[in-house]
Structure 1
Amino acid sequence: MASHVIVKFITAAILIGSCYANYCDQSLCRRGPHVACNAPTQFGSACGQEPKFVKMDARMKNLLLKKHNELRAEIACGKHGFPQAARMPTLVWDDELAHIASFNARKCIFAHDKCRNTREFKFAGQNLAITAFAGYNFQAADRAENFTQEWFNEHKDCPKSYVDSYPMSHSGPQIGHFTQMANDRAWKMGCSMVHYKNGRVIKYYLVCNYSMTNMIEEPIYTRGSAGSKCQTGQNPQYRGLCSPREKVRSESYRG
Protein backbone atom coordinates (compact mmCIF):
# COMPACT_ATOMS: atom_id res chain seq x y z
CA MET A 1 0.00 0.00 0.00
CA ALA A 2 1.40 3.35 -0.99
CA SER A 3 2.01 5.76 1.81
CA HIS A 4 2.62 9.46 1.72
CA VAL A 5 2.92 12.47 3.96
CA ILE A 6 2.34 16.10 2.98
CA VAL A 7 3.27 18.94 5.30
CA LYS A 8 2.59 22.64 4.76
CA PHE A 9 3.47 25.66 6.85
CA ILE A 10 2.48 29.30 6.80
CA THR A 11 3.23 32.31 9.00
CA ALA A 12 1.74 35.75 9.60
CA ALA A 13 3.20 39.13 10.38
CA ILE A 14 0.70 39.69 13.15
CA LEU A 15 -11.29 30.32 28.21
CA ILE A 16 -14.74 30.91 26.99
CA GLY A 17 -16.55 33.30 29.25
CA SER A 18 -16.99 36.83 30.42
CA CYS A 19 -13.29 37.20 31.27
CA TYR A 20 -12.51 37.59 27.58
CA ALA A 21 -12.79 40.70 25.46
CA ASN A 22 -15.60 41.65 23.14
CA TYR A 23 -13.81 40.46 20.02
CA CYS A 24 -16.04 42.58 17.81
CA ASP A 25 -14.59 45.70 19.44
CA GLN A 26 -13.00 47.48 16.49
CA SER A 27 -10.23 48.88 18.69
CA LEU A 28 -8.71 45.39 18.87
CA CYS A 29 -7.96 45.17 15.16
CA ARG A 30 -6.35 47.61 12.79
CA ARG A 31 -6.72 45.32 9.80
CA GLY A 32 -9.81 43.29 9.08
CA PRO A 33 -12.22 41.51 11.41
CA HIS A 34 -11.20 39.59 14.50
CA VAL A 35 -11.28 35.83 13.93
CA ALA A 36 -13.46 35.35 17.02
CA CYS A 37 -15.98 38.12 16.25
CA ASN A 38 -19.41 36.48 15.80
CA ALA A 39 -17.53 33.33 14.83
CA PRO A 40 -19.30 29.96 14.49
CA THR A 41 -18.60 27.45 17.22
CA GLN A 42 -19.03 24.38 15.03
CA PHE A 43 -16.49 22.87 12.64
CA GLY A 44 -16.37 24.25 9.11
CA SER A 45 -17.39 22.40 5.96
CA ALA A 46 -13.73 21.91 5.01
CA CYS A 47 -13.20 19.69 8.04
CA GLY A 48 -14.25 16.53 6.24
CA GLN A 49 -15.17 13.52 8.31
CA GLU A 50 -14.99 13.08 12.07
CA PRO A 51 -13.36 16.41 12.96
CA LYS A 52 -12.32 16.83 16.56
CA PHE A 53 -10.05 19.02 18.61
CA VAL A 54 -6.88 17.51 19.95
CA LYS A 55 -7.16 17.94 23.70
CA MET A 56 -4.77 20.62 24.90
CA ASP A 57 -4.20 18.98 28.24
CA ALA A 58 -1.17 19.52 30.48
CA ARG A 59 0.86 17.00 28.48
CA MET A 60 0.27 18.72 25.13
CA LYS A 61 0.81 22.20 26.55
CA ASN A 62 4.06 21.13 28.17
CA LEU A 63 5.23 19.41 24.99
CA LEU A 64 4.68 22.52 22.87
CA LEU A 65 6.23 24.83 25.46
CA LYS A 66 9.20 22.55 26.03
CA LYS A 67 9.97 22.26 22.32
CA HIS A 68 9.62 25.99 21.74
CA ASN A 69 11.77 26.91 24.72
CA GLU A 70 14.49 24.38 23.95
CA LEU A 71 14.83 25.88 20.48
CA ARG A 72 14.58 29.49 21.69
CA ALA A 73 17.39 28.71 24.13
CA GLU A 74 19.60 27.60 21.26
CA ILE A 75 19.24 31.01 19.63
CA ALA A 76 19.60 32.87 22.94
CA CYS A 77 22.91 31.08 23.52
CA GLY A 78 24.22 32.00 20.08
CA LYS A 79 23.96 28.67 18.32
CA HIS A 80 23.51 28.22 14.55
CA GLY A 81 25.65 31.29 13.91
CA PHE A 82 23.17 33.75 15.43
CA PRO A 83 24.14 36.41 17.97
CA GLN A 84 23.24 35.78 21.59
CA ALA A 85 20.03 37.30 22.98
CA ALA A 86 20.20 39.63 25.97
CA ARG A 87 16.63 39.09 27.17
CA MET A 88 14.85 36.12 25.61
CA PRO A 89 11.85 35.21 27.79
CA THR A 90 10.72 31.69 28.53
CA LEU A 91 7.42 31.17 26.72
CA VAL A 92 4.48 30.41 29.00
CA TRP A 93 0.98 29.25 28.10
CA ASP A 94 -1.92 31.66 27.62
CA ASP A 95 -5.43 30.20 27.57
CA GLU A 96 -6.94 33.17 25.76
CA LEU A 97 -4.46 32.97 22.88
CA ALA A 98 -5.25 29.24 22.67
CA HIS A 99 -8.99 29.93 22.75
CA ILE A 100 -8.68 32.43 19.90
CA ALA A 101 -6.54 29.97 17.92
CA SER A 102 -9.43 27.49 18.06
CA PHE A 103 -11.57 29.74 15.85
CA ASN A 104 -9.01 29.45 13.06
CA ALA A 105 -8.41 25.75 13.66
CA ARG A 106 -12.10 24.79 13.55
CA LYS A 107 -12.35 26.09 9.97
CA CYS A 108 -9.82 23.49 8.75
CA ILE A 109 -8.73 26.00 6.11
CA PHE A 110 -4.98 26.46 5.86
CA ALA A 111 -4.92 30.26 5.99
CA HIS A 112 -4.14 33.03 8.44
CA ASP A 113 -6.88 35.01 10.09
CA LYS A 114 -6.55 38.77 9.76
CA CYS A 115 -6.60 39.55 13.48
CA ARG A 116 -6.19 37.55 16.69
CA ASN A 117 -5.40 40.32 19.18
CA THR A 118 -6.46 40.51 22.83
CA ARG A 119 -6.82 43.44 25.20
CA GLU A 120 -3.33 42.70 26.49
CA PHE A 121 -1.66 41.76 23.22
CA LYS A 122 -2.31 44.21 20.40
CA PHE A 123 0.21 42.68 17.98
CA ALA A 124 -0.44 38.94 18.32
CA GLY A 125 1.46 36.68 15.92
CA GLN A 126 0.67 33.28 14.49
CA ASN A 127 2.27 30.13 13.09
CA LEU A 128 0.29 27.50 11.19
CA ALA A 129 1.09 23.99 10.02
CA ILE A 130 -0.89 21.20 8.40
CA THR A 131 -0.06 17.64 7.51
CA ALA A 132 -1.91 15.05 5.44
CA PHE A 133 -0.99 11.39 5.40
CA ALA A 134 -2.24 7.91 4.54
CA GLY A 135 -0.75 4.60 5.54
CA TYR A 136 0.89 5.98 8.67
CA ASN A 137 -0.20 6.08 12.29
CA PHE A 138 1.06 9.45 13.48
CA GLN A 139 -0.04 10.75 16.86
CA ALA A 140 -0.95 14.37 17.61
CA ALA A 141 1.99 14.83 19.96
CA ASP A 142 4.42 13.61 17.31
CA ARG A 143 2.95 15.97 14.73
CA ALA A 144 3.02 18.97 17.09
CA GLU A 145 6.66 18.39 17.96
CA ASN A 146 7.59 17.87 14.31
CA PHE A 147 5.75 21.02 13.22
CA THR A 148 7.65 23.07 15.80
CA GLN A 149 11.00 21.67 14.71
CA GLU A 150 10.23 22.36 11.05
CA TRP A 151 9.31 25.95 11.86
CA PHE A 152 12.61 26.38 13.65
CA ASN A 153 14.60 24.76 10.84
CA GLU A 154 13.94 27.86 8.74
CA HIS A 155 16.86 29.42 10.61
CA LYS A 156 19.07 27.90 7.91
CA ASP A 157 17.63 30.38 5.40
CA CYS A 158 17.39 33.43 7.67
CA PRO A 159 20.06 36.11 7.12
CA LYS A 160 21.69 37.02 10.43
CA SER A 161 21.23 40.72 9.63
CA TYR A 162 17.47 40.30 10.07
CA VAL A 163 18.03 40.00 13.82
CA ASP A 164 18.51 43.78 13.99
CA SER A 165 15.79 44.75 11.53
CA TYR A 166 13.00 42.55 10.18
CA PRO A 167 12.74 43.26 6.43
CA MET A 168 9.91 44.88 4.54
CA SER A 169 10.15 42.03 2.05
CA HIS A 170 12.04 38.77 1.82
CA SER A 171 12.74 36.68 -1.26
CA GLY A 172 13.64 33.06 -0.84
CA PRO A 173 12.51 30.20 1.39
CA GLN A 174 10.19 30.94 4.28
CA ILE A 175 11.72 32.28 7.48
CA GLY A 176 8.72 33.76 9.28
CA HIS A 177 7.99 30.74 11.47
CA PHE A 178 11.53 30.80 12.78
CA THR A 179 11.58 34.55 13.37
CA GLN A 180 8.26 34.28 15.20
CA MET A 181 9.74 31.62 17.48
CA ALA A 182 12.85 33.76 18.09
CA ASN A 183 10.97 36.98 18.88
CA ASP A 184 12.05 38.31 22.28
CA ARG A 185 8.89 40.37 22.76
CA ALA A 186 6.81 37.19 22.66
CA TRP A 187 6.51 35.68 26.13
CA LYS A 188 3.14 33.95 25.91
CA MET A 189 1.66 31.47 23.45
CA GLY A 190 -1.41 29.31 23.04
CA CYS A 191 -2.29 26.68 20.45
CA SER A 192 -5.23 24.74 19.06
CA MET A 193 -5.07 21.57 16.96
CA VAL A 194 -7.70 19.75 14.91
CA HIS A 195 -7.72 16.16 13.64
CA TYR A 196 -9.99 15.19 10.74
CA LYS A 197 -10.28 12.88 7.73
CA ASN A 198 -10.85 13.19 4.00
CA GLY A 199 -11.49 9.64 2.87
CA ARG A 200 -8.37 7.63 3.67
CA VAL A 201 -6.33 10.75 4.22
CA ILE A 202 -5.86 11.86 7.83
CA LYS A 203 -5.04 15.48 8.60
CA TYR A 204 -3.72 17.45 11.55
CA TYR A 205 -3.94 21.23 11.56
CA LEU A 206 -2.05 23.22 14.22
CA VAL A 207 -2.57 26.91 15.00
CA CYS A 208 -0.27 28.63 17.49
CA ASN A 209 -0.81 32.24 18.53
CA TYR A 210 1.87 34.35 20.22
CA SER A 211 1.75 37.53 22.28
CA MET A 212 3.90 39.37 19.71
CA THR A 213 4.47 39.18 15.96
CA ASN A 214 7.36 40.19 13.70
CA MET A 215 7.45 43.95 13.15
CA ILE A 216 8.92 45.41 9.97
CA GLU A 217 12.15 47.37 10.50
CA GLU A 218 12.26 46.36 14.17
CA PRO A 219 14.61 43.82 15.78
CA ILE A 220 13.61 40.18 16.10
CA TYR A 221 15.52 40.23 19.36
CA THR A 222 18.13 42.38 21.10
CA ARG A 223 21.73 41.25 20.88
CA GLY A 224 23.79 40.89 24.03
CA SER A 225 25.38 38.36 26.33
CA ALA A 226 22.83 35.57 26.84
CA GLY A 227 20.41 36.50 29.61
CA SER A 228 22.39 39.60 30.59
CA LYS A 229 19.29 41.83 30.64
CA CYS A 230 16.88 39.40 32.30
CA GLN A 231 15.19 41.21 35.19
CA THR A 232 14.08 38.05 37.04
CA GLY A 233 17.17 35.93 36.53
CA GLN A 234 17.74 33.11 34.07
CA ASN A 235 15.88 29.85 33.65
CA PRO A 236 17.96 26.97 35.07
CA GLN A 237 16.14 24.52 32.80
CA TYR A 238 16.71 26.44 29.56
CA ARG A 239 20.12 28.05 29.61
CA GLY A 240 20.10 31.51 28.04
CA LEU A 241 16.39 32.17 28.60
CA CYS A 242 15.00 34.44 31.28
CA SER A 243 13.03 32.85 34.11
CA PRO A 244 9.34 32.01 33.55
CA ARG A 245 8.52 35.04 35.72
CA GLU A 246 9.95 37.42 33.11
CA LYS A 247 7.27 39.61 31.57
CA VAL A 248 8.11 41.80 28.60
CA ARG A 249 6.12 44.41 26.71
CA SER A 250 4.63 42.78 23.62
CA GLU A 251 4.46 46.07 21.77
CA SER A 252 5.94 47.84 18.77
CA TYR A 253 8.90 50.08 19.51
CA ARG A 254 7.05 52.73 17.52
CA GLY A 255 4.14 52.67 19.94
Structure 2
Amino acid sequence: MFGSDSTTFLVIVLFKILTKITLAQQTPDYCVKGLCPKDTYHHVGCNTTRAFNSTCVKPKMVPMSTKRKNLLMMMHNRLRNHLASGKLDRYQKASNMSLMDWDDELAYLAELNVKQCVMEHDECRSTVKFFWAGQNLANRFQYPKLETYNLILKAFVKAWFKEHVDASMDYIRSYKEPPKEIM
Protein backbone atom coordinates (compact mmCIF):
# COMPACT_ATOMS: atom_id res chain seq x y z
CA MET A 1 0.00 0.00 0.00
CA PHE A 2 1.28 3.49 -0.86
CA GLY A 3 1.96 5.92 1.94
CA SER A 4 1.05 9.58 1.53
CA ASP A 5 4.59 10.45 0.37
CA SER A 6 4.48 7.74 -2.31
CA THR A 7 1.03 8.82 -3.47
CA THR A 8 2.13 12.46 -3.68
CA PHE A 9 5.23 11.44 -5.65
CA LEU A 10 3.11 9.29 -8.01
CA VAL A 11 0.64 12.15 -8.59
CA ILE A 12 3.50 14.58 -9.33
CA VAL A 13 5.13 12.14 -11.76
CA LEU A 14 1.80 11.50 -13.54
CA PHE A 15 1.14 15.25 -13.73
CA LYS A 16 4.58 15.85 -15.26
CA ILE A 17 4.09 13.04 -17.79
CA LEU A 18 0.62 14.26 -18.77
CA THR A 19 1.89 17.84 -19.04
CA LYS A 20 4.72 16.75 -21.34
CA ILE A 21 2.32 14.71 -23.49
CA THR A 22 -0.15 17.62 -23.69
CA LEU A 23 2.58 20.13 -24.57
CA ALA A 24 4.03 17.79 -27.19
CA GLN A 25 0.59 17.47 -28.79
CA GLN A 26 0.00 21.23 -28.77
CA THR A 27 3.34 22.38 -30.20
CA PRO A 28 3.53 21.84 -33.96
CA ASP A 29 6.77 20.70 -35.57
CA TYR A 30 7.85 23.88 -37.33
CA CYS A 31 10.88 22.08 -38.78
CA VAL A 32 8.75 19.70 -40.87
CA LYS A 33 9.51 19.72 -44.58
CA GLY A 34 6.79 21.31 -46.71
CA LEU A 35 5.58 23.80 -44.10
CA CYS A 36 7.36 26.73 -45.76
CA PRO A 37 6.67 27.85 -49.36
CA LYS A 38 10.27 26.91 -50.18
CA ASP A 39 12.03 24.08 -48.37
CA THR A 40 15.21 26.18 -48.28
CA TYR A 41 13.49 28.73 -46.01
CA HIS A 42 14.11 28.63 -42.28
CA HIS A 43 10.90 28.66 -40.22
CA VAL A 44 10.98 31.14 -37.33
CA GLY A 45 9.62 28.42 -35.01
CA CYS A 46 12.15 25.73 -35.97
CA ASN A 47 14.67 24.90 -33.23
CA THR A 48 14.05 28.10 -31.26
CA THR A 49 13.26 28.89 -27.68
CA ARG A 50 11.05 31.58 -26.19
CA ALA A 51 14.12 33.32 -24.75
CA PHE A 52 15.40 36.66 -25.98
CA ASN A 53 18.54 36.57 -28.12
CA SER A 54 21.66 37.50 -26.13
CA THR A 55 22.16 40.50 -28.45
CA CYS A 56 18.92 42.12 -27.24
CA VAL A 57 19.48 45.26 -25.15
CA LYS A 58 17.05 45.61 -22.22
CA PRO A 59 14.23 43.74 -23.98
CA LYS A 60 10.66 43.98 -22.76
CA MET A 61 7.60 42.17 -24.08
CA VAL A 62 4.37 44.12 -24.11
CA PRO A 63 1.55 41.80 -23.07
CA MET A 64 -1.17 41.58 -25.70
CA SER A 65 -4.30 41.89 -23.60
CA THR A 66 -7.69 41.12 -25.11
CA LYS A 67 -8.27 44.87 -25.36
CA ARG A 68 -5.02 45.37 -27.33
CA LYS A 69 -5.74 42.42 -29.61
CA ASN A 70 -9.21 43.81 -30.34
CA LEU A 71 -7.78 47.29 -30.98
CA LEU A 72 -5.20 45.93 -33.40
CA MET A 73 -7.74 43.82 -35.30
CA MET A 74 -10.28 46.67 -35.40
CA MET A 75 -7.73 49.11 -36.84
CA HIS A 76 -6.46 46.61 -39.42
CA ASN A 77 -9.98 45.65 -40.49
CA ARG A 78 -11.17 49.25 -40.80
CA LEU A 79 -8.25 50.16 -43.05
CA ARG A 80 -8.57 46.93 -45.05
CA ASN A 81 -12.28 47.64 -45.50
CA HIS A 82 -11.48 51.15 -46.73
CA LEU A 83 -9.13 49.64 -49.32
CA ALA A 84 -11.50 46.78 -50.22
CA SER A 85 -14.41 49.16 -50.80
CA GLY A 86 -12.50 50.89 -53.59
CA LYS A 87 -12.46 54.21 -51.74
CA LEU A 88 -8.69 54.50 -51.89
CA ASP A 89 -7.16 56.28 -54.87
CA ARG A 90 -5.58 53.99 -57.47
CA TYR A 91 -7.23 50.85 -56.07
CA GLN A 92 -10.26 48.98 -57.37
CA LYS A 93 -12.75 47.21 -55.13
CA ALA A 94 -11.39 43.99 -53.71
CA SER A 95 -13.30 40.82 -54.53
CA ASN A 96 -12.12 38.67 -51.62
CA MET A 97 -10.76 40.52 -48.59
CA SER A 98 -12.01 38.78 -45.47
CA LEU A 99 -11.93 40.20 -41.96
CA MET A 100 -8.82 39.44 -39.98
CA ASP A 101 -9.10 37.64 -36.64
CA TRP A 102 -6.48 37.23 -33.95
CA ASP A 103 -4.64 33.92 -34.12
CA ASP A 104 -2.66 32.78 -31.09
CA GLU A 105 -0.31 30.57 -33.10
CA LEU A 106 0.66 33.42 -35.44
CA ALA A 107 1.09 35.67 -32.38
CA TYR A 108 3.43 33.06 -30.87
CA LEU A 109 5.49 32.97 -34.09
CA ALA A 110 5.59 36.79 -34.15
CA GLU A 111 6.89 36.71 -30.58
CA LEU A 112 9.69 34.36 -31.64
CA ASN A 113 10.63 36.80 -34.40
CA VAL A 114 10.63 39.75 -31.99
CA LYS A 115 12.81 37.90 -29.49
CA GLN A 116 15.57 37.61 -32.10
CA CYS A 117 15.95 41.43 -31.86
CA VAL A 118 16.59 41.71 -35.60
CA MET A 119 14.37 44.18 -37.44
CA GLU A 120 13.87 41.95 -40.49
CA HIS A 121 11.15 39.77 -41.93
CA ASP A 122 11.74 36.13 -41.12
CA GLU A 123 11.91 33.73 -44.06
CA CYS A 124 8.89 31.68 -43.06
CA ARG A 125 6.10 31.90 -40.51
CA SER A 126 3.65 29.50 -42.15
CA THR A 127 1.24 27.40 -40.15
CA VAL A 128 -0.98 24.55 -41.28
CA LYS A 129 -3.95 26.92 -41.08
CA PHE A 130 -2.18 29.97 -42.58
CA PHE A 131 0.35 28.80 -45.14
CA TRP A 132 0.72 32.26 -46.73
CA ALA A 133 0.83 34.32 -43.52
CA GLY A 134 2.03 37.88 -44.00
CA GLN A 135 4.08 39.96 -41.63
CA ASN A 136 4.27 43.61 -40.54
CA LEU A 137 7.33 44.97 -38.76
CA ALA A 138 7.69 48.07 -36.62
CA ASN A 139 9.80 49.22 -33.73
CA ARG A 140 9.86 52.19 -31.45
CA PHE A 141 12.24 53.26 -28.75
CA GLN A 142 9.96 54.25 -25.92
CA TYR A 143 10.83 56.79 -23.33
CA PRO A 144 9.10 56.27 -19.98
CA LYS A 145 5.52 57.53 -19.74
CA LEU A 146 5.57 59.52 -23.00
CA GLU A 147 3.28 57.20 -24.93
CA THR A 148 0.89 54.44 -24.02
CA TYR A 149 1.23 51.06 -25.70
CA ASN A 150 -2.11 51.61 -27.42
CA LEU A 151 -0.90 54.88 -28.97
CA ILE A 152 2.21 53.09 -30.19
CA LEU A 153 0.06 50.32 -31.73
CA LYS A 154 -2.05 52.93 -33.50
CA ALA A 155 1.07 54.61 -34.90
CA PHE A 156 2.37 51.24 -36.13
CA VAL A 157 -0.87 50.39 -37.94
CA LYS A 158 -1.00 53.83 -39.58
CA ALA A 159 2.61 53.45 -40.75
CA TRP A 160 1.90 49.96 -42.13
CA PHE A 161 -1.14 51.21 -44.01
CA LYS A 162 0.85 54.04 -45.59
CA GLU A 163 2.80 51.33 -47.41
CA HIS A 164 -0.15 51.10 -49.83
CA VAL A 165 1.53 53.87 -51.84
CA ASP A 166 4.33 51.40 -52.67
CA ALA A 167 1.91 49.01 -54.41
CA SER A 168 -0.41 49.26 -57.40
CA MET A 169 -3.26 47.39 -59.06
CA ASP A 170 -0.73 45.95 -61.55
CA TYR A 171 1.27 44.56 -58.64
CA ILE A 172 -1.88 43.08 -57.08
CA ARG A 173 -3.00 41.54 -60.38
CA SER A 174 0.40 39.85 -60.74
CA TYR A 175 -0.39 37.58 -57.77
CA LYS A 176 -1.53 34.08 -58.64
CA GLU A 177 -4.15 32.13 -56.71
CA PRO A 178 -2.51 29.75 -54.22
CA PRO A 179 -2.92 26.08 -55.15
CA LYS A 180 -6.30 24.70 -53.99
CA GLU A 181 -4.69 21.96 -51.89
CA ILE A 182 -3.28 24.53 -49.45
CA MET A 183 -6.33 26.76 -49.15
Which TM-score tier does this pair reach, normalised by the shorter chain? 0.7 to 0.9
Matched length? 157
Residue 118 of structure 1: CA displacement? 1.1
Q: Look up the SS of the partner of 1:28 in the other structure.
A: coil
| TM-score relative to the length of structure 2 | 0.75
Asked if 1:161 corresponds to 2:170, the answer is yes
Asked if 1:139 corresponds to 2:97, the answer is no
Q: Residues 111 and 156 from structure 1, CA distance in 2 versus in 1: closer, same or farther, beyond 3 angstroms?
A: closer
Residue type matched to 1:118 in 2?
T
Distance in 2 (alpha carbons) for counterparts of 1:78 and 1:38: 43
Distance in 2 (alpha carbons) for counterparts of 1:132 and 1:87: 36
Query: Structure 1 stretches (4+) deviating beyond 6 angstroms?
Result: none
Q: Look up the SS of the partner of 1:103 in the other structure.
A: helix
Residue type matched to 1:62 in 2?
N
Instruction: Name which one, 1 or 2, has greater alpha-carbon Rg.
Output: 2
1:40 to 33, 44, 49: 49
Residue 136 of structure 1: CA displacement? 6.8
Alignment correspondent of 1:80: 88
Structure 1 or 2: more helix by fraction: 2
- Larger relative CO (CA 8 A, sep 6+): 1 or 2? 1
In the alignment, is the contact (CA less than 8 A) between 1:33 and 1:114 conserved in 2? yes
Distance in 1 (alpha carbons) for counterparts of 2:63 and 2:112: 15
Alignment correspondent of 1:89: 98
Alignment correspondent of 1:190: none
In the alignment, is the contact (CA less than 8 A) between 1:218 and 1:253 conserved in 2? no
Asked if 1:111 corresponds to 2:130, the answer is no
Distance in 1 (alpha carbons) for counterparts of 2:119 and 2:112: 12
Higher mean C-alpha deviation, range 134-143 or range 63-72? 134-143
Alignment correspondent of 1:26: 33
Q: Look up the SS of the partner of 1:141 in the other structure.
A: helix
Residue 74 of structure 1: CA displacement? 0.4
Q: Percent identity?
A: 36
Distance in 1 (alpha carbons) for counterparts of 2:179 and 2:141: 36
Residue type matched to 2:73 in 1?
L
Alignment correspondent of 1:218: 176
Residue 71 of structure 1: CA displacement? 0.1
The answer for unaligned runs of 5 or more in structure 2 is 1-22
The answer for unaligned runs of 5 or more in structure 1 is 1-15, 166-216, 220-250
Alignment correspondent of 1:99: 108
In the alignment, is the contact (CA less than 8 A) between 1:20 and 1:96 conserved in 2? no
| TM-score relative to the length of structure 1 | 0.56
Structure 1 or 2: more strand by fraction: 1
Residue 150 of structure 1: CA displacement? 0.8
Query: Aligned Cα RMSD in Å?
Result: 2.3
Q: Look up the SS of the partner of 1:152 in the other structure.
A: helix
- Deviations along 1:48-77, one digit per CA (max 9) or x if unpaired, are 12x221111111100110000000010111
In the alignment, is the contact (CA less than 8 A) between 1:65 and 1:91 conserved in 2? yes
